[in-house]
Amino acid sequence: MAKNFTPHRIAFYIGIVVVWQIIAMVGIWPDNIFPSPYEVAEDLAYGASDGSLFYGIASSLWRLSVGLAIAIVGGIVLGIFMARMEIINQTVGSLVLGLQSIPSIAWVPLAILWFGLTDGGIIFVTAIGAIFAVTINTYTGVKNIDPHFIEAARNMGAKGSQLITAVLIPAAFPYMISGFKQGWAFAWRGVIGAEILFSYLGLGFLLNAGRSLTDVSQVIGIMLVIMVIGLAVDGVIFKRLENKVMSRWGLR
């Protein structure tokens, strides 16, 4: 993604809002079906004033952070084992590929049966949705390390955990960043989807509450908040981290 705020990008989004407002003013559809930008902003302002919007954002981000952290740690460990031990790659690796094809939302019924309607269930869905992307990218990164590089490290005394932390992870990190980004995207979708079905206060809950109340303004407003958070995390955190890593490796 390019720089976050460019004149063309700002003009593009302003244009969308203007067109949206014009369509709403023409009255092709009633307000309860197609609200104006002002009505959506008013609904978000009301949610901000009573604190429900900020509490929902904080709750969703907390579940996301815990679930994504579990996915990153678990994915790195599993990916390294798959890359370094062929028996694990031939067995667990095939299972990982199969499980990756299951959408996060499909894990919700199992999460409810295992954890009940608790935060633990939502975190499980979040983590399971992201872990396989991290695993596969870590595996790819470690597999692409030059064997001579690893052998040289061993000759210098690196072995065991030292080989992993000082050689394998740093060398595979450009690939792992891609896995983190994919994992974040899957985790964000997973936490919102799980909150909708678990009915636990969060952005997903607020989205479903708007649907229950036939409040299209709230539904659109929460969708915009979810999108803005996604763009912000990708641009502020992952893009900067990716640029730093790529620059250090001379890939940019």
Contact 124, 107 (CB under 8 A): yes
More confident position, 248 or 23: 23
φ and ψ of 6, to 5 deg: -115, 155
- What CATH number has the domain spanning 50-202? 1.10.3720.10
Contacts of 140 (CB under 8 A, 6+ apart): 175
Residue 246 to residues 6, 33, 73, 139, 240: CA-CA distances in angstroms? Answer: 23, 46, 22, 19, 10
pTM for the full model?
0.83
Listed by start position, the domains of the chain span: 50-202
Buried residues in 70-104 as b, exposed as e (16+ CB within 10 A): bbbebbbebbbbbbbeeeebeeebeebeeeeeeeb
Residue 1 confidence (pLDDT) above 50? no
- pLDDT of 5 reads 59
User: By CB neighbour count within 10 A (0-12 exposed, 13-18 middle, 19+ buried), where does 220 fall?
Assistant: buried
Convert the pLDDT of each residue in 147-203 to its tens digit: 777 777 677 766 667 677 777 777 778 888 888 888 999 999 999 999 988 877 889
Convert the pLDDT of each residue in 46-89 to its tens digit: 989 988 899 999 999 999 999 999 999 999 999 988 888 888 88
Convert the pLDDT of each residue in 83-106 to its tens digit: 888 888 888 888 888 888 888 889
- pLDDT of 3 reads 53
Using the Cα atoms of residue 168, residue 173, residue 174 and residue 177 in order, give the sign of their dihedral.
positive
